[in-house]
Amino acid sequence: MRNHRLLTWLYPGMHIKRWLLLLVIGMSLLSLGVAYLLREAYLTYDFPGAAWYLTLQFIPRWGRGAIFVLAALGAVCLAFWKLNASLLYAFMRPADEKRDMARSLYARRVLSRGPRIVAMGGGTGLSVLLRGLKEYSSNLTAIVTVADDGGSSGRLRQEFNVVAPGDIRQCIAALAESEPLMTRLFQYRFQTGDGLEGHSFGNLFIVAMASVTGSFETAVHEVGRVLNVRGAILPSTVVDVTLSARTQDGELVHGEHTITEQGACIRELYLNPPHAEAHPDAVRAILDADLVVIGPGSLYTSVLPNLLVEDLRQALLATSAQRLFVCNVATEHGETDEFGVAEHIEAVLRHTAPGILDAVVANDNIASLPEAWRSDPVALAQPDARVFRDLRVVQADVVADANRYRHDFTKLAATVLDVYHGRENGAPAPAALPANEPAEEAVLAAR
């Protein structure tokens, strides 16, 4: 009975029951008034004999009353259902054609009261996270790295001097409620064509919209409106930035694409220009958020570039929101070889500041990966507990069964919301701190 679609209209928060009750009261008063008029006419006017049958006089009074009440309720319910279906047809666009209007409206009502969540990152990892979170809240803000300079995004940056659209395009596709065909079109990548080969339709669409509207931010907003995006998508900065890295050998590497191709162990990461101004709406979103999720994604080329923007880093330190780091489930060849959870966290803290994270989600469904992937599962078992100090470590199965190199968006979103609501099993630091640690560090650890 609870899952019956008619009862969906009576769920809490639908703002339907109060008006339905008012409708019933109004119809009852109308019926009472008509009854008084009919009684007066019945006493003062002589009806023909056929009226005896038409008014069901051969049925007892209580039977006639029950019949009229049931008929009235049926007519009112049918009229109410069809009227709302007609009025809301132009506005309700269910993601699933099999899902009825009531459940779509209920989803919108509930999601609009969901927590204010900010997701920071880039690439496939961020889009996977957003695809899961949009089922829990529509108050989403994706802050996307714009340092990508390879592939279609790199070519468009050079030719049109725009912010890299690739990662933003993936977030738009993940948050879109439009028809699946439109989402597939937005993700379509040209395989042939002089000048078109390698470009995705979504990237070209965003750049064209930027030319029409005169602003990249306006273009992203309008594209999101066209595809009915649930949430907001913001670039971390509107400045044309370049990602640079210093390897363990002291070599300087410039450009995100070059850093990935170089495959060298990275010691330090920085942006050019170093003091790029953050998008003001991104700063405001972090300060107003209930939950900030950092990652998953390529550690050095997707996650950390957002944290290198000074304004965003300061906003993270100042916000009252929970700050959750989602660790990757597998290492990335050339960037995080032989990294465990502790090394991921240490890299984040080294490039930001202590106390910037409150909790970390680590995958506990560990299994070996094919040798051809040149990747290993990211494990939690690390001897150094200093990195985990003041951090809640949440272990959960968040890996995709079909592709163990990626997160499962359903599992990950459920775990993130469990952390937010305090339903997770937070694990303590793997080991106690040494007894001879300095007094100042001991005080900090106690805090």
The side-by-side arrangement of strands in the sheet containing 359-363 is 232-235, 140-144, 117-121, 291-294, 322-326, 359-363, 392-396, 426-427
Residue 165 CB contacts under 8 Å (≥ 6 apart), including other chains:
153, 156, 202, 203, 206, 207
138 DSSP 8-state letter = S
Cα–Cα dist 54/440, whole Å: 94
401, 408 contact by CB (below 8 A): yes
Domain locations in the chain?
5-103, 114-145+236-446
Please report, for residues 257, 299, 300, 301, 322, the alpha-carbon distance to residue 251 in angstroms, rounded to integers and kept in the order given. Answer: 16, 19, 16, 17, 37
What is the helix (H) or strand (E) element at residue 63, kind and residue range?
Answer: helix 61-88
Task: Tell me the whole-structure pTM to 2 decimals.
Answer: 0.75
Q: What is the torsional sign of CA 196, 122, 412, 104?
A: negative
Other beta carbons within 10 Å of 190: 14
The side-by-side arrangement of strands in the sheet containing 266-272 is 252-254, 242-247, 266-272
Question: Would you state the pLDDT for residue 94?
Answer: 47
**What tens digit of pLDDT does each residue of 350-381 get?**
999 989 999 999 999 988 888 888 899 998 86
Strand positions, DSSP E, 260-345: 266-272, 291-294, 322-326
Cα–Cα dist 57/375, whole Å: 84
Omega cis (within 30) before 296: yes
Question: Would you state the pLDDT for residue 445?
Answer: 36
158, 145 contact by CB (below 8 A): no
Residue 323 CB contacts under 8 Å (≥ 6 apart), including other chains:
292, 294, 316, 356, 357, 358, 359
Query: Greater confidence, 342 or 5?
Result: 342
Amino acid at 33: G
**What tens digit of pLDDT does each residue of 22-40 get?**
888 888 888 888 888 878 8
Q: Is the pLDDT of residue 205 over 50?
A: yes
Q: What confidence category does residue 304 fall into, taking pLDDT thresholds of 50, 70 and 90?
A: very high
Lowest mean pLDDT among 155-159, 229-233, 304-308: 155-159
pLDDT over 70, % of the chain: 84
Q: Which residues pair with 278 in a beta bridge?
A: 237
Lowest mean pLDDT among 104-113, 232-241, 313-322, 410-419: 104-113
Cα–Cα dist 133/205, whole Å: 25
**What tens digit of pLDDT does each residue of 118-145 get?**
999 988 899 999 999 998 999 999 999 9
Amino acid at 398: V
Query: Greater confidence, 120 or 242?
Result: 120
Angle at CA of residue 106, ends 227 and 94, nearest 5°: 35
Q: Which CATH superfamily is domain 114-145+236-446 in?
A: CofD-like domains (3.40.50.10680)
Of the CA atoms within 13 Å of residue 299, those in its CB half-sphere come to 33
Q: Which two tokens stand for residue 299?
A: 């550690």
SS3 137: coil
